[in-house]
Structure 1
Amino acid sequence: MPGDSRPVGGPGLKQVRRIVTEIPGPRSREQLARQRGLVPAGVGAALPVFVEAAGGGVVVDADGNSFIDFGSGIAVTTVGNSAPAVAERAAAQLRRFTHTCFLVNPYASYLDVCEKLNALAPVPGEKRTLLVNSGAEAVENAVKVARAATGRPAVVVFDHAFHGRTLLTMTLTAKNRPYKHGFGPFAPEVHRAPMAYPYRWPTGPEHCAEEAADALEDLLDRQVGADNAAAVVVEPIQGEGGFIVPAPGFLPRVAEICRARGILLIADEVQTGIARTGRMFACEHEGVQPDLITAAKGLAGGLPLGAVTGRAELMDAVPAGGLGGTFSGNPVACEAALGVFAEIEANDLVERALEIGDTMLDRLTDLSDAHPVIGDVRGRGAMIAVELVEPFGTRVPAPDLAGRIARRCHAEGLLVLTAGSHSNVLRFLPPLSISDALLEEGLSILGEAVAKEAAFAV
């Protein structure tokens, strides 16, 4: 609007870290005071600064502070905030029409997104795709499809899982606070198996995959009853649970266990999907072919869009009217998703994710060697984490230390996020549009924060 002095976002934004006020600054504090009177206390923020612009590898707040972005809106702006193809396609669609409801008057962009996902998803055979509004809605619909196709009620999930905040997905989620506490009773017929978590497996990482798979097999056969189980739902890398990469061989074994019992395998790739891990989908790293796969966060570059892609005979098992929603597959979000795919292809962002991951793993491994409070470094592609533990060779989770390091990073102009069942994990999700210079600078800030806080921890 005329006279608007706010910075322009997108890739044209100056790519520098700049801290000019305390964090949060006076303008952000003013908005936070306003928020307290307007928004429920249950809605919080990892870094409570109000954003004016974002793009490339930075986020700029209302006070003019420019932060290096290691969060990507929780893996959403994977191709960069306001990436050109995303912004241009979405803007053009806004001028044509904003909504018809695909259930009333369909439009071609919905089909274009489905066609793209059907081609990319590592689901065997002929495929179908359903578009929805969010990751939680995608997971809910995947379970609906699995139950309809198999005629079975039970669903099996894993320790440390996060699948959403709706009733069913909250039930599927493992962590009580803040996601489940006080919100019960929960949905029935949900069962939980141990996750193959190498760093914390009781008998050591070398036994992790086999023993965790055996535990799943025992749960299905002895407790649930395999002929009662519709699906096993698994994150190929657990997100909110702490970026847990299952022990090698575990996911293929899970797929075999399911296949032998006629149980469907649902890969929840809401956080890992759409080029984040150096593959279009993370289950591709071990050649796993799920029956159904979900996507959302990185799918539409910041606009709300989720998807379920599955084997055609499963997806078609639901009768007409059983799937859909008023806003599902909104045309503006569909155009944004097509822009995301264009950005990935034009800029070779799958390969870029691998490059970012190599840089981060090298630097963080060196940091771990210097500071034993980093108990584990893990992840794939541009989805990397460090797990913080108490000093003197323990594996005792250190959530306070993780929080202090995160706050120190924020104060120095680096946006990082925490995660983990014990809230002791720092997770890093830089946009794939970040420059090498900003990536290195961010890692240096992190290294200094770890060194200073580790010294206090001893």
Structure 2
Amino acid sequence: MTDKIFQIIKDDQEYLMQSFRRWYPFIIDHGSGSLVYDVDGKEYIDFNAGIGVIALGHGNTKIIDAVKAQMEKFFHYSLTDFYYEIAVDVAKKLSSFMPYSAKVFYTNSGTESVEAAIKIARGHTGRQWIIGFINSFHGRTLGSLAFTSSKAIQRKSFSPLLPSTYLVPYPDKRDPLCKEDCTESLLAFIEDWIFKKIVDPTEVAAFIAEPIQGEGGVIVPPKDFFYKLNSLLKKYGILLILDEVQTGIGRTGKMFAFEHFNVVPDIICLAKALGGGIPLGAVIGRKEIMDLPPGSHANTFGGNPLALAASKVILDEVPKLLDHVSSVGKEIMEELESTKSPYLYEVRGLGLLIGAELRKDNRPFSEGLEKVLYNSFRRGVLAIGAGESVVRIEPPLTIEEELAIKGTKIIKEEIEKL
């Protein structure tokens, strides 16, 4: 570690609240495409993309030009009190991806999108209960935190959380509740136990779920789970909210992950890649559901025009990349699956959201994860963890095949060295 890096980290620890975890001492100076450079000029392959945010790569000139052009017009003018055209343009584009007539509400982040979705579901249905899934991550503000449970530390000391909430198991084959047919066993649990013992279904406003659990370890559900869950919910007038903050905007090889599962959610939460690095989130919902009355929900910065200018570019460019995302993701997974190590338990994911789980003695191997991530960093690859011991790979959607395989081979070699 150089003196410059040491000093920046020392100052960070002195002046910033240390309520987050860093995996290794990387300090970014600048980036280009799928490469980033630290303050000493060392080059790294970016397998993190700011946790899936930098969809079109670093320094994308189309985004830069669009934001510059918007800056010359105006930086900000509160959408909650006035109108501007670019907000309508992006909402039209988002709505065009939906298989139903939709409306949009803009936010600033993923957790704020979840908070808005909770209010929309409660306001529309007049019901109070929201049910989520164990091992999910939906954000850290108090409303969304009620449904976040990928790690106990995320919730420790912050109770009481939002009332009238309940968590049920996610369809994870490692869970004891998932027997031979994970989908049927969990649906039976929900209908025969939750709806009969905990809360009457006529009091439930919505279920909220990630279509793929990201922070929880890149857990991909059975293909039929969400379709059958939604069929159950519709029997009782319950809404389905899908949190696509991490999986949306092309990350899984389709514009939205729900397209993989033959289901159409009532409400979708977005952020991360939607603004390409400029804070922007959104809630998309069926037009008849997005009916909160004037004055009941708003914010100052949601739909910031600079973020929307970036989003227009992203929403135009990402659909062109979907085949590339699927193809490169498949190659990464095949390379990881050829790893010769007793500690590689499973490789899973869709598109360019990929997890390689490490286990030792049939237990999460967190020490192994830390070694793999740190040693990969030393060799010029930036990846982060998920779950208890999962190497998470989510590079920019534009990453070149050669660069993707080069980075994957380094991770593979570090797993084999354990």
Normalising by structure 1, what TM-score?
A: 0.88
Equivalences for residues 351-390 of structure 1 within 5 A: 351-367=323-339, 370-390=340-360
Supply the RMSD in Å over aligned alpha carbons. 1.4
Which residue of the other structure, out of 287, 302, 309, is the alignment partner of 1:335?
Answer: 309
Identify the residue that residue 243 of structure 2 maps to in structure 1. 268
* Contact 1:153/1:228 (<8 A) preserved: yes
Identify the residue that residue 400 of structure 2 maps to in structure 1. 435
* Contact 1:373/1:389 (<8 A) preserved: yes
Deviations 1:211-253 (A, max 9, x none): 1222222313431210110000010001111110012211111
Identify the residue that residue 371 of structure 2 maps to in structure 1. 404
**Matched letter for residue 62 of structure 1:** V
SS for the counterpart of 1:230 is strand
- Rounded Cα–Cα distance in structure 1 between residues aligned with 2:373 and 2:313: 32
Identify the residue that residue 5 of structure 2 maps to in structure 1. 28
Identify the residue that residue 278 of structure 2 maps to in structure 1. 303
Equivalences for residues 30-179 of structure 1 within 5 A: 30-122=7-99, 125-179=100-154
1:451 aligns with 2:411: no
Number of equivalenced pairs? 417
TM-aligned CA deviation for residue 203 of structure 1: 6.8
Deviations 1:262-308 (A, max 9, x none): 00000100000000000000010022101101111110100100000
* Contact 2:23/2:374 (<8 A) preserved: no
Q: Unmatched 5+ residue regions in structure 1?
A: 1-23, 454-458
- Rounded Cα–Cα distance in structure 2 between residues aligned with 1:284 and 1:190: 27
Choose 45-54 or 250-259, whichever is displaced more. Answer: 45-54
- Rounded Cα–Cα distance in structure 1 between residues aligned with 2:128 and 2:241: 15
Choose 37-46 or 85-94, whichever is displaced more. Answer: 37-46
TM-aligned CA deviation for residue 409 of structure 1: 0.7
1:419 aligns with 2:386: yes
TM-aligned CA deviation for residue 371 of structure 1: 1.4
TM-aligned CA deviation for residue 315 of structure 1: 0.2
Identify the residue that residue 350 of structure 1 maps to in structure 2. 322
Which residue of the other structure, out of 220, 226, 231, is the alignment partner of 1:251?
Answer: 226
* Contact 1:349/1:432 (<8 A) preserved: yes
**Matched letter for residue 34 of structure 1:** D
* Contact 1:212/1:250 (<8 A) preserved: no
* Contact 2:54/2:396 (<8 A) preserved: yes
**Matched letter for residue 98 of structure 2:** A
Deviations 1:303-351 (A, max 9, x none): 10000000111102x1012222000110000101001112224xx2111
Deviations 1:118-162 (A, max 9, x none): 11135xx32111111110010110110000110000000001100
- C-alpha spacing 1:192/1:203, structure 2 compared with 1 (3 Å): closer
SS for the counterpart of 2:363 is coil
TM-aligned CA deviation for residue 50 of structure 1: 1.8
SS for the counterpart of 1:178 is helix
**Matched letter for residue 383 of structure 2:** V
* Contact 1:161/1:240 (<8 A) preserved: yes
TM-aligned CA deviation for residue 204 of structure 1: 6.2
Deviations 1:146-179 (A, max 9, x none): 0011000000000110000100111110134431
**Matched letter for residue 338 of structure 1:** K
Deviations 1:102-121 (A, max 9, x none): 12221111111111111113
- C-alpha spacing 1:93/1:46, structure 2 compared with 1 (3 Å): farther
Deviations 1:24-77 (A, max 9, x none): 443222211111221012133233322111121111110111111110100101
- Rounded Cα–Cα distance in structure 1 between residues aligned with 2:195 and 2:374: 43
- Rounded Cα–Cα distance in structure 2 between residues aligned with 1:92 and 1:450: 46
- Rounded Cα–Cα distance in structure 2 between residues aligned with 1:62 and 1:429: 23
* Contact 1:226/1:261 (<8 A) preserved: yes
* Contact 2:178/2:186 (<8 A) preserved: no
Identify the residue that residue 222 of structure 1 maps to in structure 2. 197
TM-aligned CA deviation for residue 205 of structure 1: 6.6
- Rounded Cα–Cα distance in structure 2 between residues aligned with 1:385 and 1:43: 21
- Rounded Cα–Cα distance in structure 2 between residues aligned with 1:448 and 1:26: 30
* Contact 1:121/1:293 (<8 A) preserved: no
- Rounded Cα–Cα distance in structure 2 between residues aligned with 1:94 and 1:28: 33
**Matched letter for residue 251 of structure 1:** F
- C-alpha spacing 1:171/1:204, structure 2 compared with 1 (3 Å): closer
- C-alpha spacing 1:206/1:354, structure 2 compared with 1 (3 Å): farther
SS for the counterpart of 1:138 is helix
* Contact 2:223/2:260 (<8 A) preserved: no
- C-alpha spacing 1:30/1:107, structure 2 compared with 1 (3 Å): same
- Rounded Cα–Cα distance in structure 2 between residues aligned with 1:372 and 1:119: 47
Which residue of the other structure, out of 177, 186, 195, is the alignment partner of 1:212?
Answer: 186
- Rounded Cα–Cα distance in structure 1 between residues aligned with 2:33 and 2:24: 19
Task: Indicate the percent of aligned positions where both proteins have the same amino acid.
Answer: 35
TM-aligned CA deviation for residue 401 of structure 1: 1.0
* Contact 2:254/2:260 (<8 A) preserved: yes
Identify the residue that residue 13 of structure 1 maps to in structure 2. none
**Matched letter for residue 401 of structure 1:** G
Q: Unmatched 5+ residue regions in structure 2?
A: none
